[in-house]
């Protein structure tokens, strides 16, 4: 599958799906996918993605070129450059679109608490009806740890229980094992032309849509600035801190000056008690012992007197 560059459609991605043969040097076109970007949240429904097998258009043009109408036009337009030849080819391609063109529509998409994504799509086929496509967590490969997705396409007759159990899978992409598995007998039993090309294109389309959503949901950080940024906030913070500190120091100094006259007015004994009060805590036991001895000596001196 190749990305088409230079697309003119806004907010859309175009891909060409080609089929390669190991024994042939050339590739065969399978489909052309136009995948629109979701307008908002990933939970909203995407607009329908058209899946049309290109071989249906090529076969229709080849078939109409051998018709009686083409033979009549070839009488006067052997190179098929007239408007009649162009209109005949356009009608053939339009009939092929009506018979084989499908719409891929997303129904639901959820993410659980562990980050595992589950999604459900509907592939609306003109003759086969609605075909369910689910995105679930694959059984992790021991050599490739981590949650990986498994995109499964179910049989048109599958019930909701069969879809949940995965018992009627016709094809799936298992990213845990890097495998694409097709039930060829089951697909051919549907008896619809180009069904294999349609199924493969639908699986690839779902894979691209889910990958784009996961990329948008990832957290991205801005790159570092190319030029160094001057850290003015730190300078302002330091200035403010120093100004606040100086104001507190000035206020404390003023309070200290205002309190000095009160200390001068205290009597001498009071100043001594205040100045030596810290010694009383550290030498409490010494003061008690000395006080007892001093009291005994004073009593003796008073009696002698």
pLDDT tens-digit readout, 5-57 = 545 455 678 899 998 888 877 888 999 998 877 655 444 555 679 999 999 99
Q: Which of 79-83, 111-115, 214-218, 254-258 has the highest mean pLDDT?
A: 79-83
Answer for the pair 171, 199: CB distance below 8 angstroms, yes or no: yes
228/224 Cα distance (integer angstroms): 9
- The 3-state DSSP class for residue 278 equals helix
**Average pLDDT of the residues in 162-183:** 93
**pLDDT on residue 263:** 45
**pLDDT on residue 302:** 44
pLDDT tens-digit readout, 175-233 = 888 899 999 999 999 999 999 999 999 999 999 998 888 887 775 666 777 777 666 55
Answer for the pair 59, 96: CB distance below 8 angstroms, yes or no: yes
**pLDDT on residue 48:** 79
Please check the confidence at residue 281 and state whether its pLDDT lies above 50. Answer: no
Q: What percent of the chain has pLDDT over 90?
A: 44
Helix axes 83-100, 54-65, angle to 10 degrees: 140
**pLDDT on residue 38:** 62
Q: How many residues does the chain have?
A: 305
Which segment of 29-33, 140-144, 295-299 scores lowest on mean pLDDT?
295-299
- The candidate with the shortest Cα–Cα distance to 117, out of 126, 105, 127, 108, is 108
Place of tokens 């598995």: 181
Answer for the pair 151, 170: CB distance below 8 angstroms, yes or no: no
> Comparing 121 with 273, which gets the higher pLDDT?
121
* Sheet with 49-51, side-by-side order of all strands: 49-51, 102-111, 117-125, 129-137, 149-154, 169-174, 179-182
162 token code pair: 């069969």
């Amino acid at each position: 599958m190749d990305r088409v560059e230079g697309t003119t459609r806004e907010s859309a991605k175009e891909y060409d799906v080609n089929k390669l043969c190991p024994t042939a040097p050339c590739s065969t076109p399978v489909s052309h996918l136009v995948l629109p970007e979701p307008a908002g949240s990933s939970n909203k429904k995407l607009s329908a993605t058209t899946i049309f097998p290109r071989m249906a258009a090529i076969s229709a043009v080849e078939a109409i070129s051998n018709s009686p109408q083409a033979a009549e036009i070839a009488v006067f337009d052997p190179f098929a450059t007239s408007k009649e030849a162009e209109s005949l080819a356009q009608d053939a391609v339009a009939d092929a679109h009506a018979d084989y063109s499908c719409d891929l529509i997303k129904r639901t998409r959820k993410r659980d608490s562990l980050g595992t994504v589950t999604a459900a799509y509907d592939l609306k086929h003109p003759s086969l009806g609605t075909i369910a496509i689910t995105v679930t967590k694959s059984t992790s490969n021991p050599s490739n740890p981590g949650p990986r997705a498994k995109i499964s396409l179910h049989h048109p007759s599958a019930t909701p229980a069969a879809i949940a159990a995965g018992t009627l899978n016709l094809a799936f992409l298992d990213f845990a094992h890097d495998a694409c598995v097709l039930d060829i007998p089951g697909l051919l039993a549907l008896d619809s032309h180009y069904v294999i090309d349609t199924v493969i294109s639908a699986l690839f389309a779902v894979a691209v849509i889910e990958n784009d959503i996961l990329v948008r949901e990832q957290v991205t950080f801005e790159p570092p600035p190319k030029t160094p940024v001057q850290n003015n906030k730190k300078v302002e913070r330091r200035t403010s801190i120093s100004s606040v500190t100086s104001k507190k120091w000035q206020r404390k100094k003023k309070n200290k000056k205002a309190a000095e006259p009160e200390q001068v007015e205290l009597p001498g004994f009071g100043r001594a008690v205040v100045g030596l009060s810290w010694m009383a805590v550290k030498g409490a036991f010494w003061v008690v012992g000395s006080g007892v001895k001093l009291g005994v000596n004073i009593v003796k001196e008073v009696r002698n007197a």
